[in-house]
Amino acid sequence: MKRFLFSLNAVLRLREHREWEQELELGKTTSRVASIQNEINSLTTEYQNTVSLASGARAVDMEYRIWQTAYLSLLEQRRSECRRDLTIAEEARQAAQERYLEAMKERKVLTQLRERQESAYRREQTLHEENVIDDTNNARSARVRGRAVRSGHAVAVTEGTKNGSI
């Protein structure tokens, strides 16, 4: 039996590679979003800890309060920058996800085409093999009948064939 050859196999490999690249890109952008989100969470925790320290202290000098206020302002500014970065990173992740889904769809179309062609090829090969077997059996049966006719047993062979003995 001949091997199945898909004529668009090179294109399919390229599409699989493109899908893999887009998956990597999606992973990088998702990682970037998670990293920024972790930084925002860390800054929020630090901000809350600093505020709770200030509310627990009774007598703190003014210089400490000024530094604390400046630090809280810096934390809030950094959180604001991170939120802007997060918005940009989420947009990039969304775009990467769309590119990945498109690449996956393109690859899937070719994969399904290959599967349909391979299935048709298998059916055709099975039919061909059945025809070869039928031809072989018919030839064998004709040889047996030919020998029986030459030896004068044509009636017995015909009756034997009807009874299923051959």
> Does any domain span residue 34?
yes
Q: 19: burial class by Cβ within 10 Å (0-12, 13-18, 19+)?
A: buried
Domain holding 29, by residue range, is: 9-117
> Does any domain span residue 107?
yes
pTM of the model: 0.67
- Nearest to 15, CA basis, from 105, 95, 128, 96: 105
pLDDT above 70 (res 43): yes
Q: What average pLDDT score do residues 4-29 get?
A: 94
> Does any domain span residue 161?
no
Q: What is the CATH number of the domain that holds 37?
A: 1.10.287
pLDDT above 80 (res 158): no
> Does any domain span residue 136?
no
The total domain count for the chain is 1
- Nearest to 115, CA basis, from 42, 9, 1, 2: 9
What Rg do the C-alpha atoms of the chain give, in angstroms? 39
Q: Tens of pLDDT along 51-90?
A: 887 666 565 678 878 888 999 999 999 999 999 999 999 9
